[in-house]
A = this chain, B = another copy of it.
């Protein structure tokens, strides 16, 4: 088999970690497989580079930040290639550009526009194990561009797609995808399998295992992802592919996102185009809005509220203030103390009553719901952040997702 194996920064924190990962890869090679290794930067090495950049620049120019941060992965590939050689596996390192990862050139958050893995194929044909720098690619002008959060996963999946690998294994210190965050819900169960659709929605709702754009890319190219633990080799992990979920439960897993904020506008006119004006202004600034509610208060004036990512809060408030002034509205109110709990599952398609079960679980726990958002395979509820962990447990419990509960998989 041809496998792509990706190892994240926490699996590469020290040279000792690198040595252990190399030995793990060596065992896979010894079993007769071909392996392409994708690595992130070592542990906290990125933080050190960021500190130096912040010391020298307040603007952090994106092109130079990419040139700087990409060196972390470049160090990892050379060190990993050496460790593999020491473990008896002839290896060769490749930067993102050398591995043929082409991007649209957008610094800091580039999109992969093509993969030309000629040099990787050559290395494999010579019996060498390629070690590729994740998170980076070459823009149209030959500049280094980075792929944004979760970029190394995306590199691995893109290479697996281009090389038609049998599987893309994503290794981390988490042993797969769970029915809920096991740090919050101790009896959360590990899922043996998950369809792309559910994984995409879970990632969008705040699950940290994989980033949405990596899942989207895998879905589009039909790359089978295998999320596994780096140092617990016996653990089977979670397989993510295009097969439908076979669980009997309408909900596959429950996600929690505490990195959001709610922004409210009060006393805006109840007239056509008011909402459009606000959300167009936000979109123009590249701010993603998640949940939205609009309610008629009184005197032909509306209240509106929406949620944004925590990092976008200040910019979103600034835009909201600007639009509010134009509309002669009353006030902008920010609530940074919110959280969103989401039940996700392709299994809820065509099954009525799932939303009601979520609302009932929260109500029974005495937790007030501030906003609701739904898609065909997701129900999200905005709540006060102080209730976040209890809410996650309550919804998880309501669908019998715990390890003690019966899980039906093929």
Which residues on A are within 8 Å of B, measured CB to CB? 15, 18-19, 22, 49, 52-53, 55-61, 63-65, 67-68, 70-71, 74-75, 77-79, 81-83, 85-86, 92-93, 95, 98, 119, 142-143
A82 to B56 alpha-carbon distance, docked (Å) = 6
Can you report 27 A-B residue pairs in the complex whose CB atoms are below 8 A from each other?
A49-B75, A52-B75, A52-B79, A53-B78, A53-B82, A56-B86, A57-B82, A57-B83, A57-B85, A57-B86, A59-B82, A59-B85, A59-B86, A63-B92, A63-B93, A64-B78, A64-B79, A64-B81, A65-B78, A67-B74, A67-B81, A67-B95, A68-B74, A68-B78, A70-B74, A71-B78, A74-B74
A71 to B86 alpha-carbon distance, docked (Å) = 22
A56 to B17 alpha-carbon distance, docked (Å) = 10
- Cross-chain contact B74 with A15 (CB below 8 angstroms): no
Point out the residue from B52, B61, B74 that lies within 8 Å of A71, measured CB to CB: B74
Residues of B within 8 A of A71 (CB): 71, 74-75, 78
Q: Taking the full assembly, how many copies of this chain does it contain?
A: 2
Residues of B within 8 A of A93 (CB): 63-64, 67
Chain A binding site: helix, strand, loop or mixed by DSSP?
A: helix
Residues of B within 8 A of A58 (CB): 86
A119 to B19 alpha-carbon distance, docked (Å) = 39
Residues of B within 8 A of A92 (CB): 63
- Chain B nearest CB from A260 CB (Å) reads 32
- Cross-chain contact B75 with A61 (CB below 8 angstroms): no
Point out the residue from B59, B68, B143 that lies within 8 Å of A79, measured CB to CB: B68
Residues of B within 8 A of A15 (CB): 52, 55-56
- Chain B nearest CB from A99 CB (Å) reads 11
- Cross-chain contact A64 with B82 (CB below 8 angstroms): yes
A74 to B66 alpha-carbon distance, docked (Å) = 11
Residues of B within 8 A of A95 (CB): 67
Point out the residue from B52, B77, B79 that lies within 8 Å of A56, measured CB to CB: B79
- Cross-chain contact A67 with B77 (CB below 8 angstroms): yes
Q: Residue of B at shortest CB range from A91?
A: B64
- Cross-chain contact A142 with B98 (CB below 8 angstroms): yes
- Cross-chain contact A81 with B61 (CB below 8 angstroms): yes
- Chain B nearest CB from A178 CB (Å) reads 33
Q: Residue of B at shortest CB range from A74?
A: B71
- Chain B nearest CB from A341 CB (Å) reads 41
